[in-house]
Amino acid sequence: MNEGIIERLEMVLSDMGLTRNAFSKSVGLGASNFNRKMKGLSPFTKRDFVLISKATGISREWLEFGEGDMMAKQGATAPQVEEDRPTVEGKPFYDVDFALGFNGMYNDEPNVPSKIISVPGYEKADFWCRTSGDSMKPFISNGDIIALKEIEDWQSFLPMNEVYAIMTTNDLRTVKVVRKGSDDEHLTLHAYNDEYEDQEISKSAITKVFKVIGALKTM
Give which of 41, 23, 21 is closest to 31, Cα–Cα.
21
The domains of the chain, with CATH numbers, are 3-65 (1.10.260.40), 91-216 (2.10.109.10)
Interval 184-188 mean pLDDT: 95
Q: Which residues pair with 17 in a beta bridge?
A: none
Interval 145-149 mean pLDDT: 89
Q: Is the pLDDT of residue 131 over 70?
A: yes
Q: Which amino acid is it at 76?
A: A
Question: pTM above 0.85?
Answer: no
Q: Is the pLDDT of residue 204 over 50?
A: yes
What are residue 131's phi and psi, to 5 degrees? -130, 165
Q: Can you tell me the distance from the alpha carbon of 127 to that of 204, in angstroms, rounded to the nearest whole number?
A: 25
pLDDT digits (tens, 9 = 90+) for 40-85: 888 888 888 888 887 777 888 888 888 887 766 444 443 444 444 4
CB 164 within 8 A of CB 210: yes
Distance of alpha carbon 67 from its chain centroid, rounded?
47
* Amino acid 76: pLDDT: 41
* Residue that wins the pLDDT comparison between 162 and 24: 162
Distance of alpha carbon 97 from its chain centroid, rounded?
23
Pick left, alpha or beta for residue 212 (phi over 0 → left; psi -120 to 50 → alpha; otherwise beta). beta
